[in-house]
A = this chain, B = another copy of it.
Amino acid sequence: MAARAGVTKQTVSNVVSGKKVRPETLEKVNKAIAELGYKPNLVARSLRTGSTSTVGLFVPSVANPFYSEMVEEVENLLVGHGYNLLLATTRDDPDYTRAHLENLAARSVDALLAAGDNGVDQQLPMLAAANFPVALFAWEGDPPTTLPVVSIDYQHAGFLAGCHLRDLGHRNVAVVADLPAHTPRVVGLRRAFAADGLDDRKVFACTSDDAAGGFAAACAALDADPELTAIFATHDILAIGAIEAVVRSGRRVPDDVSVVGFDDIAQVGRIRPALTTVTFPKREMAQQAVELLLRAVDSGQPPTNVVSLLRPTLTVRDSSGPARRDRLAPGTA
């Protein structure tokens, strides 16, 4: 290749990376490049420079729409910045997480974005010790001080949902939750009901983190207290299962029982009843995280150590309504 243009490979390298080259040399080299269809070998470049223009992304699972929407955003941003996406699913498992992490390190990725607490939480020391920038993403538990976090104010989100239900007159609310993962959402909800109190026995943990799990937990909730007027599900998929449980029990949503979800994944606004849910600024979150990371990559400095908690908003649709008057708490009517 170099010989073809009558120059050294160094000059070719200069041309490819846009360094100062005499116009006539430039032309000569570009001609040879075109003729030979020369493509620089990025692996060799990576070996030499130690950087790969590749960013790793950990998610618990891509099948979960919340995460797949995140993957979409992150991929688009990375491509826009000239980076590649190496995707790995942690399956909420510390061992998978660890294996992926070692792999990424050995491959010299430029940065890593890790979403979801489970599995990742056990590898925090190793993540913090990585020799490339790492940020936590959609982190729900107590944020570690060692790593930057870009996430959502989950507790506030739960609070929003709670206020909504309380304002509608609901006093007998059950929670269908993926626990312990979603504890902050439940705490927030509980805060909204502080004065009236929310019975611990009204919190139903799901045995599986899907619609079937939400269905089962909601059935249990309805069995335990046929008088309840609202169900808060800690994410939309569980809410879909909960709605099914309510309807199957012969009750109506929202006339008899209101259901509120969490995430605002695509399509839940179009099913019947359209789901009332807490909406996250997903795009902004992805943007902040990616920029935090790439700024660190570009500067060669460790990433700014922040905890950035984006504020969610409530999206009221058709699945929530006023509590049944015959079940209002005394003095509220």
Which residues of A are in contact with B by a Cβ distance under 8 Å? 39-44, 46-47, 52, 54, 61-63, 65, 68-69, 71-72, 75-76, 79, 84-89, 96, 102-103, 105-108, 210-212, 215, 237, 240-241, 243-244, 247, 266-267, 270-272
Contact = CB atoms under 8 A, between A and B. Distances in A.
Copies of this polypeptide in the complex: 2
Given A62-B75, A63-B69, A85 B86 contact: yes
A182 B213 CA distance: 34
Given A211-B267, A271-B240, A107 B89 contact: no
A102 B47 CA distance: 19
Contact of A68 (B68, B102, B215, B271): B68
Interface of A (DSSP majority class): helix
Contacts of A62: 62, 68-69, 71-72, 75
A55 B6 CA distance: 36
B61 A89 contact: no
B270 A211 contact: yes
Nearest to A44: B47
A216 to B, nearest CB: 12
18 contacts: A39-B102, A41-B47, A43-B107, A43-B108, A44-B47, A62-B71, A62-B75, A63-B68, A65-B68, A76-B89, A84-B86, A84-B88, A84-B107, A85-B87, A211-B266, A212-B270, A237-B267, A244-B270
Q: Would you list the 3 A-B pairs with minimal beta carbon distance, nearest first? A: A68-B68, A211-B270, A63-B72
Contacts of A102: 39
Contacts of A86: 54, 84-87
